[in-house]
Amino acid sequence: MPRKPGSALKRGTRADVYANSFYQTVTEPSANTLTFAEVNFNINIHETMGIILHKLEYFDTGVSYEGLSAQSDAVKMALTTSNTITSLDLSQPTVIDLLIVAPFTFGTPASAHLIYHPVIRDFTSLPGGGLILYPKPLYVAIQGVSLAGARTVQVRGKFSYIQLTGVEAFELIDQARLVT
């Protein structure tokens, strides 16, 4: 939960003792179209609250991996701070996390490989217990590559709120704005 107005926290202290969750789904309107959906947090844009992102869980809808047969086929899914980028790749500084699913055939394209869901990204081993982010704005993105149909991804995140000083909050905001 966000802090109560007027309550004081020491610099760098967590405003939460428990992990919170967010959930967002995004569907391409047509095949191979980069598409974004904003993640909403219960934070006023003027508050100096940040989040520590502990974990991301990527789910597909059961059809996201269908049609992945050629080596050029792929599904890209990401968490990003911008919805103005034109591609999902690591050359984009606003991409916080990127997952690319592409086929690898063992002999013939008819061979099978088990897919485990969800695909989990765990950031708890990082210093501070995760990635520190300013939560306004954060987007879930998806883009198919060389596919015949539109794709959908569902993302669930586990996070904690953290109280930031004004300077820390502006540094995180500037970082997101400078790279967009």
Is the distance from CB of 145 to CB of 32 less than 8 angstroms? yes
Q: Delimit the domains of the chain by residue range.
A: 20-178
- DSSP assignment, residue 14? B
**Alpha-carbon distance 158 to 51, whole Å?**
10
Give the model's pLDDT for residue 28: 93
CA pair distance 141, 74, nearest whole angstrom: 14
First to last CA, the chain: 29
Q: Model confidence at 173, in pLDDT bands (50, 70, 90)?
A: confident
User: Per residue in 57-106, pLDDT tens?
Assistant: 999 765 556 667 777 788 899 999 999 999 999 888 889 999 988 877 66
CATH class of the region 20-178 = mainly beta
In our burial notation (b when 16+ CB lie closer than 10 A, e otherwise), range 141-180 reads bbbbbebeebbbbbbbbbbbbbbbeeebbeebbeebeeee
Mean pLDDT of the region 111-116: 62
